[in-house]
Amino acid sequence: MSEENRKIAFICSKGNMDMVYPALVMGWAALGNGIDVTIFFTFWGMDMINKARVDRLEVAPVANTSMKMNLMGVDTGNLGIPNIMGVLPGMTAFATKLMNDKMAGIDVPPVREYLEMLVDGGAKLYACKMSVDMFDLEMDDFVDGVIDIVTASDFMDMTEGAQIVFI
Amino acid sequence: MTTKEIADKTVQVNEEGFMTDPNEWTQDIAAAIASEEGVSELTPEHWKVIDYSREVGLESGSAPTLRNITKGAGVPTKELFGLFPKGPAKKVAKISGLGKPEGCV
């Protein structure tokens, strides 16, 4: 064991459901292994900590080549969800529900609860100053556990020596 | 596979120091591993977590994940990280004489 504790920092820049989970899963694993965790939310990633958005994150079937019909439990092999169907009203909600059900089926907590677990486990959450300004947000808009709104330069200072993962 | 002397007993461990036969585990061994892992005293709160993990581990064959422990044993996340600081996932499993947890959550 080295003297200095291993540190890892995630930059979450996306709000699509498939892109919000990697940092949560890896961050939780890191905490479980005794690694310090910092998460910086920027751009669309702000949705993850936005109280009004965190329970409404979605995944769209349009132009998503990995999302196949068999996600619905039908044995259709590599048959995709046609983009022309994906543009119909309600398809994004439908795909999102499928994904949420799959997640719940393997006991993966919803994003809000996952963030609470991470905070309780000692992860430090920060919001990006530029995104806060751009989206007209303030601290009151964020879920509990977000420590502060910081600049990119602050982030660089606070993650010295950390491994950084951009998502 | 190697063996290791813990609390005056010889037990089988893997290369990461996890016991490979949960039946060789005793409460004295738990206390000795805990102290090696920086948990100097095992309080009733610690035992609540360890006993639950033993129960799950012996039943399912692998150590429970942290979320399984918080939900199943009713120990809040914050408390679990306080009881077993710096890496509760591995520490709880090791102290409980089980392998590494196999789930992600």
CB contact under 8 Å between A32 and B87, yes or no, is yes
Residue B104 domain-assigned?
no
Task: Answer whether residue A91 is part of any domain.
Answer: no
Would residue A76 count as lying in a domain? no
**Is residue B105, in this structure, part of any structural domain at all?**
no
Residue A24: inside a domain? yes
- The domain total for chain A is 1
Segment A69-92 mean pLDDT: 84
Paired strand residues for A163: A8
ipTM: 0.87
pLDDT at residue A144, rounded to an integer? 92
pLDDT tens, A37-75?
999 999 999 999 999 999 999 988 888 888 888 877 778
- In this predicted structure, what is the pLDDT of residue A68? 83
Domain of A118? Answer: 7-54+114-166
- Given a cut of 90, whether residue A9 has pLDDT beyond it is yes
Closest CA to A66 of A99, A110, A43: A99
Average pLDDT, chain A: 91
Which of B8, B78, B104, B105 is labelled catalytic? B104
DSSP A65-131: TT-BGGGGT---TT-B--HHHHTSTTHHHHHHHHHHHHHHHTTPPPHHHHHHHHHHTT-EEEEEHHH
Token pair, residue A118, equals: 């991470």
**For the residues A18-44, what does the mean pLDDT come to?**
95
Whether pLDDT at A1 is above 70: no
Q: Tell me which residues of chain B, numbers 68 to 87, contact chain A at a CB-CB cutoff of 8 Å.
A: 70, 76-78, 81, 85-87
From A157's Cα to the closest Cα of chain B, the distance in A is: 23
pLDDT category at A77 given cuts 50, 70, 90 is: confident
Strand partners, B25: none
Q: What domain range is B32 assigned to?
A: 2-95
Residues of B in contact with A32 (CB under 8 A): 66, 87-90, 101
Is residue A80 assigned to a domain? no
CA distances (Å), origin A129, targets A20, A150, A161? 20, 5, 22
- Rounded to an integer, what is the distance from CA A73 to the centroid of its chain? 25
Q: What is the CATH number of the domain that holds A134?
A: 3.40.1260.10
| B66 inside domain | yes
Counted domains in chain B: 1
Residue A156 lies in a domain: yes
- Per the model's pLDDT, the better-predicted residue between A19 and A78 turns out to be A19
| Residue B39 covered by a domain | yes
Query: With a cut of 70, which residues of chain B have pLDDT below it?
Result: none
